[in-house]
């Protein structure tokens, strides 16, 4: 077959899971490491702590979700979308492979009969159909992405929704690449592979891009450099080069150093299709 349908976008997705040495990171395949990560993350969370950039993402998704709807949320994490969904829908089922995630969320929903939790990987979860199936930034460990999309399509009565935050990479890394010649860990997976996999299934999904902004705060310049040099592949790099590349994007005051970064979210959604192209 000629044209874009001849490209194996799932293979591109799978190749993007590999590290920069061509190996699969242990956390991608070791469930105990993944659980340890989430256990540690949940311990650091304040009461119902969520991220500001989730608000505009949820606003876009909410257009497809009704008050009488039943919703499956894949990989709820610390509840960026769980908390507003629980207020806005008739029934919410959260599916996650981490016991720590589900325990963290469950404490906030004692007595809420319309919210339930299932401890299972999405690929293995046995679920009935719901009106809406959605997941945001929760597909990073999923290898068989086409099967995941098919499952979302099959379980959604009204709408399937995927949210992914995306680039551009922090702008100082482009300077480090173009001005100083450093090798940079540019993003290797993105929403576009998912959109094209859906296209190969003859699902012509809507895709809305949302411009977002995040400000990173650091107590010192040293802390800034340590955090914002992690995507440099070269083991021998100059701190002065990093500081020079950061200079146009940072502000410093009595509270520390602040780095503002523009990025985007893609909200991909579609009406479920009864018969899919295999």
| pLDDT tens per residue across span 142-157 | 999 999 999 999 999 9
| pLDDT at residue 1, rounded to an integer | 43
CA distances from 37 to 77, 105, 213, 247 (A): 11, 16, 25, 33
Please report how the helices 191-200 and 145-155 are oriented relative to each other, as an axis angle in degrees rounded to 10: 70
| pLDDT at residue 98, rounded to an integer | 97
- Mean pLDDT within 186-202: 94
Structural domains for the chain: 4-168+185-213+263-270 (3.40.50.150)
CA distances from 161 to 61, 144, 149, 269, 271 (A): 7, 18, 10, 4, 9
Average pLDDT of every residue of the chain: 95
Question: With bands split at pLDDT 50, 70 and 90, how would you rate the model's confidence at 278?
Answer: low
pTM of the full structure: 0.92
How far apart are the C-alpha atoms of 42 and 57, rounded to whole Å?
22
Question: With bands split at pLDDT 50, 70 and 90, how would you rate the model's confidence at 3?
Answer: low
Please answer whether residues 250 and 259 qualify as being in contact, where contact means their C-beta atoms are separated by less than 8 angstroms: yes
Is the pLDDT score of 4 beyond 70?
no
Report the length, in residues, of the chain.
278
């Amino acid at each position: 077959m000629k044209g874009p349908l001849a490209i194996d976008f799932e293979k591109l997705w799978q190749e993007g899971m590999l590290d920069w040495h061509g190996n699969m990171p242990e956390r991608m395949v070791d469930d105990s490491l993944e659980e340890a990560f989430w256990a540690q993350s949940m311990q650091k969370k304040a009461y119902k702590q969520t991220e500001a950039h989730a608000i505009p993402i949820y606003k876009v998704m909410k257009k497809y979700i009704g008050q009488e709807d039943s919703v499956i949320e894949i990989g709820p994490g610390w509840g960026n979308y769980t908390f507003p969904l629980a207020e806005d829908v008739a029934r919410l089922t959260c599916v996650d492979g981490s016991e720590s995630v589900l325990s963290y969320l469950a404490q906030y929903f004692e007595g809420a009969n319309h919210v339930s939790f299932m401890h299972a990987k999405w690929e293995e979860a046995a679920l009935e159909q719901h009106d809406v199936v959605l997941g945001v930034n929760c597909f990073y460990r999923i290898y068989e992405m086409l099967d995941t999309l098919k499952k979302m399509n099959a379980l959604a009565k009204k709408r399937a929704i995927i949210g992914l935050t995306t680039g551009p990479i922090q702008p100082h890394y482009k300077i480090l690449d173009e001005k100083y010649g450093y090798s940079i860990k540019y993003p290797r997976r993105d929403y576009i592979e998912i959109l094209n996999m859906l296209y190969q299934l003859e699902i012509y999904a809507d895709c809305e891009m949302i411009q977002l902004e995040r400000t990173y705060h650091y107590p010192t310049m040293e802390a800034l450099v340590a955090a914002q040099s992690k995507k440099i592949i070269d083991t021998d790099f100059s701190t002065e080069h990093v500081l020079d590349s950061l200079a146009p994007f940072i502000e410093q005051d009595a509270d520390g150093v602040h780095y503002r970064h523009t990025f985007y979210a893609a909200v991909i959604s579609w009406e479920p299709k009864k018969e899919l192209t295999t």
